[in-house]
């Protein structure tokens, strides 16, 4: 029966392991109501007197009202404030307010009776904890139990906690899952979260983000921005959890925000290059005929496959721009009809809705492939946005003491010299960043920079252009 279970449990814990246990910890470990746990402790304590004499010590909790009961706090009624305020109207009748004081005292069993006598009115007495020996003055070991309880509670849903353990339920309490919060913190990501929380969860979407190390990521996002995101809206849902961080990083800029780490993405220039390269040089090349099937199987297949599928699709369609490719993939999902509509507008995160970033993220893995595959894209439109490479850059920041410090940081940079990472992003707005203009400007200049990307690249390191002197 339950009674035997708990007594064995408690015996093991207290007598054999020599550890203290509070009613809370007992309730968490046995998944019972705290009041029941208190009863168990009491019952065990009673029974242990005969079985394990002097080996189990109880600490009690008394709740009630102590003597003296009233706290006089001089309730002065200021009925006439307009009287000469030079003296406080203490001539008025001072009414002593009776403040109800409830006290909770934790006492070892030896002092239980003494403590009871200090109470004017006892509400409840219960066993708080059982331990092998009397606890020291500061009850240290109980703190350890408390910590364990909180760690257990952390994993559970608030409403479950309430129902199982008898904790008071708070209807509004809602613990956001990990990773969700990053997006909740940043606005665009937040919007993304809410939007992507929409109905569907496509496994394909879910699987895409993890396969980041793809050099083909960059071409796709810009393409996908307008077309894809529309179509990919439902699919983007689960993306959010995993890729929220990425989204956050991507939100600032358009294509180049490839925080998807792509080691080989050094020379990515245009989507078509990627496409072509994947077609030719991808180690995972597939036959084009498999494209549509793979696309459809993306929903259930592994992420790698999905990526390859996407790549394949792109490859096969020989789209002019990544966008076409994305558009094609969209279409194929929807209607199995590959439509090579070219969308030439440079996709910017702020133009399209946030989902586009998510889409970028998804599309990034899709175009994964060896980095070198991107080098020879013929389309130059995407060139500036595409390259992502790891660069060690000196970052000048203002220290907490006001000193100018230089740190060398490895950043992912695209040709427009926009950095993917948050810290470097903030530094970009810092006072001494030489390599690119401040963040707000950056977005505006994105389109210009795209074209100038290569130009900037060739400029002296750390200096985007001559204009940076004036722009900064």
Partner 1 sequence: MNIMSPVASSSALDSDYLLSSPKDDEIFPTFERRVSARGLISKYNDEFVLKNTEKAYEQQYASLYFLRLTVLKPRVSKVAADAWNGMSILSQEVKAVDRVLDVRQGEFCWIVGTIYIEMSLKPNILDEITKEFWTTAPISKDKFVDPQHDAIMLEDESGRVNLVGSTIKSELLVTGCVVAVLGSETTSGDFDVVDIRYPELAPQVPREISTGHERKYVALVSGLQVSGDIHETYETSMLFEYLMGELGGSDDSKRASEIIHVIIAGNSFANRDSPVSRDEDSQDNNSQKKKKKYGYDSKSYNSKPTEALDSLLADLSTSVSVDIMPGEQDPTNYSYPQQPINPALVPRTRRFLGSSFRSVSNPCWWDIEGLRILGTGGQPVDDIFRYIEDDDRLQMMEYSLRWQHCAPTAPDTLWTYPFRDNDPFILNETPHLFFAGNQPEFKTKIVDGDNGQRVRLVTLPKFSETGQVVLVDVATLACEVVSFGLNGAGR
Q: Interaction with partner 1 in 162-181: which residues (CB under 8 A)?
A: 162-163, 165-178, 180-181
The tokens for 232 are 């990919």
Q: Which residues contact 6 (CB under 8 A, 6 or more apart)?
A: 26, 30, 40, 43, 44
Apex 128 CA angle, 103 and 45, nearest 5: 135
Q: Which residues contact 419 (CB under 8 A, 6 or more apart)?
A: 411, 412, 413, 425, 427, 428, 436
20 is a contact residue toward partner 1 (CB under 8 A): no
Which secondary-structure segment (H or E) carries 128? Answer: strand 119-131
Q: How far is the CB of 458 from partner 1 (least distance, A)?
A: 34
If the CB atoms of residues 105 and 409 are measured against partner 1, the closer one turns out to be 105
Q: Label the pairing between strands 57-66 and 119-131.
A: antiparallel
The tokens for 333 are 């999902």
Of 176-205, binders to partner 1 (CB under 8 A) are 176-178, 180-181, 184
The correct pick among 111, 336, 351, 410 for binding partner 1 (CB under 8 A) is: 111
Q: How far is the CB of 429 from partner 1 (least distance, A)?
A: 10
Q: Which residues pair with 95 in a beta bridge?
A: 75
Going by C-alpha positions, the residue among 12, 116, 110, 7 that lies closest to residue 54 is 110
If the CB atoms of residues 15 and 184 are measured against partner 1, the closer one turns out to be 184
Provide the CB-side half-sphere exposure for 428 (13 A, CA). 24
34 is a contact residue toward partner 1 (CB under 8 A): yes
Q: How far is the CB of 407 from partner 1 (least distance, A)?
A: 9
Produce one character per residue of 55-70: b if its CB has 16 or more CB atoms within 10 Å, e if not. Answer: ebbbbbbbebebeeee
Kindly write out the interface string for residues 391-410 of this chain, putting x where it contacts partner 1 by CB under 8 A and - elsewhere: --------xxx-x-x-----
The correct pick among 88, 133, 198, 342 for binding partner 1 (CB under 8 A) is: 88
4 is a contact residue toward partner 1 (CB under 8 A): no
Q: Which stretch binds partner 1 (CB under 8 A): 2-10, 223-231, 242-250, 280-288?
A: 2-10
If the CB atoms of residues 144 and 410 are measured against partner 1, the closer one turns out to be 144
Kindly write out the interface string for residues 344-383 of this chain, putting x where it contacts partner 1 by CB under 8 A and - elsewhere: ----------------------------------------
125 is a contact residue toward partner 1 (CB under 8 A): yes
Within a 10 A sphere around the Cβ of 121, how many other Cβ atoms? 10
251 is a contact residue toward partner 1 (CB under 8 A): no
Q: Helix H segments across 318-368?
A: 322-335, 354-366
Give the binding-site size for partner 1 (rule: CB under 8 A): 95
């Amino acid at each position: 029966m339950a009674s035997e279970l708990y007594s064995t449990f408690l015996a093991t814990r207290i007598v054999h392991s020599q550890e203290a246990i509070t009613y809370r910890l007992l309730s968490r470990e046995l998944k019972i109501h705290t009041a029941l746990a208190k009863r168990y402790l009491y019952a065990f304590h009673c029974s242990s007197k005969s079985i394990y004499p002097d080996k189990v010590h109880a600490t009690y909790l008394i709740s009630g009202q102590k003597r003296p009961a009233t706290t006089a706090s001089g309730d002065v009624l200021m009925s006439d404030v307009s009287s000469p305020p030079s003296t406080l109207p203490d001539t008025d009748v001072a009414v002593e307010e009776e403040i109800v004081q409830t006290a909770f005292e934790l006492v070892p069993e030896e002092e239980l009776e003494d403590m009871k006598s200090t109470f004017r009115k006892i509400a409840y007495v219960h066993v708080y904890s059982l331990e092998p020996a009397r606890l020291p003055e500061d009850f240290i070991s109980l703190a350890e139990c408390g910590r364990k309880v909180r760690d257990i509670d952390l994993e559970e849903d608030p409403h479950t906690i309430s129902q199982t353990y008898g904790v008071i339920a708070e209807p509004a309490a809602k613990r956001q899952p990990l990773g969700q919060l990053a997006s909740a913190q940043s606005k665009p990501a937040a919007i993304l979260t809410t939007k992507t929380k929409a109905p569907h969860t496509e496994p394909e979407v879910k699987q895409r983000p993890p396969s980041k190390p793809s050099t083909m990521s960059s071409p796709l996002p810009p393409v996908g921005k307008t077309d894809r995101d529309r179509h990919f809206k439902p699919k983007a849902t689960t993306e959010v959890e995993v890729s929220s961080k990425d989204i956050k990083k991507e939100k600032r800029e358009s294509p180049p925000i490839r925080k998807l780490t792509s080691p080989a993405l050094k020379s990515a220039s245009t989507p078509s290059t990627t496409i072509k390269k994947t077609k030719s040089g991808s180690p995972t090349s597939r036959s084009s005929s498999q494209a549509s099937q793979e696309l459809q199987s993306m929903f259930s297949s592994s992420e790698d496959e999905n990526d390859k599928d996407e790549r394949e699709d792109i490859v096969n369609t020989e789209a002019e721009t990544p966008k076409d490719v994305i558009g094609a993939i969209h279409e194929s999902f929807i209607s199995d009809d590959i439509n090579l509509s070219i969308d030439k507008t440079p996709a910017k995160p702020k133009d399209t809705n946030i989902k586009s970033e998510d889409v970028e993220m998804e599309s990034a893995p899709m175009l994964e492939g060896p980095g070198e595959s991107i080098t020879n894209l013929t389309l130059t439109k995407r060139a500036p946005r595409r390259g992502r490479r790891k660069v060690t850059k000196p970052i000048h920041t203002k220290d907490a003491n006001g000193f100018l410090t230089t740190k060398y940081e490895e950043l992912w940079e695209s040709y427009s010299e926009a950095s993917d990472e948050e810290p470097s992003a903030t530094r970009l707005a810092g006072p001494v960043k030489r390599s690119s203009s401040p963040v707000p400007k950056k977005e505006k200049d994105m389109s210009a920079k795209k074209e100038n990307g290569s130009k900037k690249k060739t400029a002296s390191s750390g200096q985007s252009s001559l204009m940076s002197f004036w722009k900064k």
